[in-house]
A and B are shown apart, each in its own frame.
Chain A
Amino acid sequence: MKSLRAIMVVLLSVTLCFAFGLSSSSASDSVKVGISLPITGSLAKFGEIERDAFKMAQKEINAAGGINGKTLQLIIEDNTGRPDVGRSVVEKLITKDKVVMLGGGYSSSVTYAVAGVCQQEQIPFLVNTGSADRITASGWKWIYRINPSVSHYADAVKSLLSSVVKPKTAAILYENSLFGTKGAKSFGKICKSLGIKVVLKEGYEHGGIDYKPVLVKIKKLNPDIVYMVSYIMDASLLMKQSRELKLTPKMFIGGGAGFTLPEFKSNAGVASDKVISATLWHQVLPFPGAMDFYKKFKAKYNKPVDYHGAEAYSACYVIADVLKRAKSFKNTDILKALSETDMMTVFGPVKFTTWGKLKNQNIASSYVVQWIDGNLELVWPPKHATKKFVYPVNWLKTWGY
Chain B
Amino acid sequence: MNVFMQTLVAGLLIGGIYCLIGIGMSLIMGVMGIINLAHGQLMMVAMYITFVLSSYFHIDPYFSLIVSMPALFLLGCILQKYFLNPLMEVDSILPENQVLMTVGIGIVLTEIARFIFSSDYKSVKTSYGGSAFFIGNISFNLPMCIAFLFAIFITVALFLFLSKTDMGRSIRATAQDKEAATLMGINSNRITIITFGLGAALVAAAGSLLMPIYYLFPDVGGPFTLKAFVICILGGLGNITGAILGGLTLGIAESFGGTYIGMGYKDMVAFVIFVLVLVLIPGGLTGLKRLIKS
A-B pairs, top 4 by smallest CB distance, nearest first, are A204-B263, A44-B119, A203-B264, A213-B259
Do A213 and B217 contact each other (CB < 8 Å), given the known contacts A4-B100, A232-B121? no
Contact A205 B215 (CB under 8 A): no
Interface residues in B, total, Cβ within 8 A: 41
Contact A213 B255 (CB under 8 A): yes
| B266 contact set on A, CB distance < 8 A | 204-205, 208
Measured in the bound complex, the distance between the Cα atoms of B213 and A169 in whole Å is 31
Closest to B9 in A: A212
The yes or no answer to B111 lying at the interface (CB within 8 A) is yes
Do A42 and B215 contact each other (CB < 8 Å), given the known contacts A48-B118, A208-B263, A269-B130? no
Distance (whole angstroms) from the CB of A264 to the closest CB of chain B: 9
The yes or no answer to B276 lying at the interface (CB within 8 A) is no
Contact A44 B219 (CB under 8 A): yes
The yes or no answer to B203 lying at the interface (CB within 8 A) is no
Could you count the A-B residue pairs with CB atoms below 8 Å apart for me: how many are there? 110
Partner of B7, one of A3, A40, A213, A269: A213
Closest to A399 in B: B130
Partner of A210, one of B3, B130, B255, B262: B255
The yes or no answer to B90 lying at the interface (CB within 8 A) is no
Interface residues of A in 152-194 (CB under 8 A from B): 173, 176
A interface footprint on B123-138 (CB within 8 Å = 1, 0 otherwise): 1010001111000000
Interface residues, chain B, with chain A CB atoms under 8 Å away: 2-3, 6-7, 10, 13-14, 93-94, 100, 110-111, 114, 118-121, 123, 125, 129-132, 139, 141, 210, 213-215, 217-219, 223, 255, 258-259, 262-264, 266-267
Beyond the given pairs A216-B259, A263-B121, 13 more chain A to chain B contacts, judged by CB atoms under 8 angstroms and listed by A's residue number, are A40-B111, A42-B217, A44-B219, A45-B120, A209-B213, A213-B10, A213-B259, A213-B263, A243-B130, A245-B139, A267-B123, A267-B215, A269-B130
| A209 contact set on B, CB distance < 8 A | 14, 210, 213-214
B interface footprint on A204-248 (CB within 8 Å = 1, 0 otherwise): 110111111110110010000000000011001100100111000
Measured in the bound complex, the distance between the Cα atoms of B261 and A202 in whole Å is 10
Question: What are 16 inter-chain pairs, A to B, with CB distance below 8 A?
Answer: A40-B111, A41-B219, A204-B263, A209-B210, A212-B141, A213-B6, A213-B255, A214-B263, A216-B3, A216-B6, A220-B3, A237-B214, A244-B132, A244-B141, A245-B132, A270-B130
Partner of A244, one of B3, B130, B214: B130
Measured in the bound complex, the distance between the Cα atoms of B119 and A263 in whole Å is 12
Distance (whole angstroms) from the CB of B116 to the closest CB of chain A: 14
Closest to B265 in A: A205
| A44 contact set on B, CB distance < 8 A | 114, 119, 217-219
Measured in the bound complex, the distance between the Cα atoms of B119 and A233 in whole Å is 12
Measured in the bound complex, the distance between the Cα atoms of B14 and A209 in whole Å is 8
The yes or no answer to A271 lying at the interface (CB within 8 A) is yes
Partner of A213, one of B111, B121, B215, B258: B258
Contact B130 A271 (CB under 8 A): yes
Contact B267 A205 (CB under 8 A): yes
B interface footprint on A246-274 (CB within 8 Å = 1, 0 otherwise): 00000000000000000100110111000
Distance (whole angstroms) from the CB of A281 to the closest CB of chain B: 21
Closest to B267 in A: A205
Measured in the bound complex, the distance between the Cα atoms of B259 and A44 in whole Å is 30
Distance (whole angstroms) from the CB of B7 to the closest CB of chain A: 5
| B132 contact set on A, CB distance < 8 A | 244-245
Partner of B263, one of A4, A41, A202: A202
Closest to B262 in A: A202
| A3 contact set on B, CB distance < 8 A | 93
Contact B6 A212 (CB under 8 A): yes
| A1 contact set on B, CB distance < 8 A | 94
| A45 contact set on B, CB distance < 8 A | 119-121, 217
Distance (whole angstroms) from the CB of B252 to the closest CB of chain A: 11
Distance (whole angstroms) from the CB of A387 to the closest CB of chain B: 25
| B129 contact set on A, CB distance < 8 A | 240, 269
Measured in the bound complex, the distance between the Cα atoms of B218 and A48 in whole Å is 13
Contact B215 A40 (CB under 8 A): no
Distance (whole angstroms) from the CB of A54 to the closest CB of chain B: 16
Partner of A216, one of B2, B114, B119: B2
| Residue picked from B94, B125, B139, B267, most chain A C-beta under 10 Å | B139
Measured in the bound complex, the distance between the Cα atoms of B257 and A204 in whole Å is 11
Distance (whole angstroms) from the CB of B200 to the closest CB of chain A: 21
Contact A203 B3 (CB under 8 A): no
| B125 contact set on A, CB distance < 8 A | 269
Measured in the bound complex, the distance between the Cα atoms of B258 and A214 in whole Å is 7
Interface residues of A in 4-40 (CB under 8 A from B): 4, 39-40
Closest to B110 in A: A40
| A245 contact set on B, CB distance < 8 A | 132, 139
Measured in the bound complex, the distance between the Cα atoms of B3 and A263 in whole Å is 31
Distance (whole angstroms) from the CB of B127 to the closest CB of chain A: 11
Measured in the bound complex, the distance between the Cα atoms of B205 and A17 in whole Å is 41
Measured in the bound complex, the distance between the Cα atoms of B266 and A1 in whole Å is 31
Do A263 and B139 contact each other (CB < 8 Å), given the known contacts A40-B111, A236-B215? no
Do A4 and B130 contact each other (CB < 8 Å), given the known contacts A41-B219, A202-B264, A204-B264? no
